[in-house]
Structure formats: structure tokens, C-alpha cells
Amino acid sequence: MTQGIEQLSATKSHGGWVKRFSHRSQVLDCDMTFGIFLPPQAEEGNVPVLWWLSGLTCTDENFMQKAGAQKMAARLGIAIVCPDTSPRGTDLPGEHDSYDFGSGAGFYINAQKEPWSRHYHMYDYVTSELPALVREHFPISEREAISGHSMGGHGALICALKQPGRYASVSAFAPIVNPVACPWGEKAFSNYLGNERGEWADWDACELVLAKSSGQPMFVDQGEDDQFLNEQLKPENLEKACHIQGVSLKLRRHEGYDHSYFFVASFIDDHLEYHAHHLFADQA
């Protein structure tokens, strides 16, 4: 069934187009927006896509406006799609009370607890509904990779680990790798999923690696001056889990860099080239 989209804006960038659209999401039962960068190669045929998942408090616009990814993506011939970070306009009780839960903080999981379960199915949205919609309307091939920042880095990792073989590659900037063991994750998971902690493991990158759900290689960049490093992000936990299970993890630590988009913009080209290597691996 054809799903309608409405174009909100279109801006030429590095020979391609940055566009923004709205649509009605059946999965989330609300209106949603997403951004897409179409490289100039998309005018000639289908191109592979990088799904970018943003972090707490962000929308679909942060990455497109701050990361500076369009120049490299245009050179490589990769489309980039940026979903929003949570349902919008639902106005549930307490939804807007704090920055780390509710609006802007969907955590890319499927909520099981009311009232959140009525709308907060961000995992299904970013892995099923939105990809189908994008491929219906744009020249996007079946080749896909996924990346993200902070909460979005968590989302990228679990999407790849939960669906082995789907994504050609996965990377993350300063991801929340072990949400069952950090304040951000504990707050979100207890509200979205309930207090049975055993059910949280399906949405935690470290737990998924330890459960041998996937051998997906991962590429992670982390700033050493990140204000959330020790309490919330804990990359050493992912490093340990990957070592135990023999999963390939490229973890780079960068002295002086914090949690901001200055950090993301500094290394985004490395990630795009990493994904391009995998996306075009069979086209040599």
C-alpha cells in the first residue's frame, strides 16, 4: 500500500539534496518527520543508504545541520536517512518532564508498558516502517549500513546485533553500550519495559554480544573528555563483552574530545569511508 509523504524542505548540497519530509506513522500512531540526503548519484539509479540515529534531545535535523557529512557522502555515493528520536505530538502524561525520558528519548526500543506501548515502538519504526517508506519513494538500494550518536549509537548497535546479516556495517559515536547498567538506561527501560530487568537484555548491546546473538563487527569512536563517559557510556563494558565472545570491535579513544557534534563532525568522514568499504565490497 502506498504511504504518503509531504515534503517540508529541499536544499541543494554538494551536488545532491538535503530534504525533509513528514508522514503518518502507523507503527507510532502519530505524525513523524525524517531527513534524507540524496547524493548526486541518486539521479542515475539506486544508491546504498546509511541510517543515522541521533541522541537524547535531538530531532531528525541535528545530524544534517551539524555533522558536515554531505560532502563525503556525495563523493562516495551514499544516501543518509535521519529519523526523529521519538514519537511526537502524543502528549502522554510526563512525556515532556525530563530530557532523558519521553519526548526526544525513545531509545529505539519497543515499549511494553502503558501508556508508552501505544506509541513508543521506535525499533519497529527505524527497522521496518521507515525503510519500507523510504524505498517506496526514493532510489535506495537494499544495501544498508547503520550508525548513530549516544542514545542513537545504542540504537545502531542493537539494530545490527538483533538482525545479523542485515546491515553491511555498523558504527557509533559515544554510544550508550550497556543501558541496563547506567542511569539513562535504567530510567528509560524501567518506564518503557517495566521492572523485570531480565527483559531488558534484549535491548542492550553488551548483553546481546554476551548472549552470542550476533558476531557483527563494530566500529566505535569515543571522546576521552566526554562528560558522560564514566557514568553513562562505559565503552569498557562493550570492550570486555566483545573480548569474551571473540567479536571484532574497533574502539578508538580520542583525547580532548567531548560528547558534542564537534566530536561527531571531526570523525564522520572516517565512518562514512568505513561504511562505503562494506557497502560497495561486492562491486570491486
Which positions are catalytic? 150, 226, 259
Distance of CA 226 to the CA centre of its chain: 19
Cell of 168: 553491511
Cell of 189: 527501560
Supply the DSSP string of 177-237, one letter for each residue. Answer: --GGGSHHHHHHHHHHH-S-GGGTGGG-HHHHHHTT-----EEEEEETT-TTIIIII-HHH
Q: Between vectors from CA 172 to CA 82 and to CA 48, what angle results, nearest 5°?
A: 50
From the list 216, 226, 212, 220, the residue with the least C-alpha distance to 248 is: 216
Q: What is the DSSP letter of 105?
A: B
5 bridge partner residues: 23
| Backbone region of residue 146 per phi and psi (left: phi > 0; alpha: psi in -120 to 50; beta: other values) | beta
CB of 173 closer than 8 Å to CB of 267:
yes
- What 3-state DSSP class applies to 152? helix
Phi, psi for residue 59 in degrees, rounded to 5: -125, -170
| Backbone region of residue 82 per phi and psi (left: phi > 0; alpha: psi in -120 to 50; beta: other values) | beta
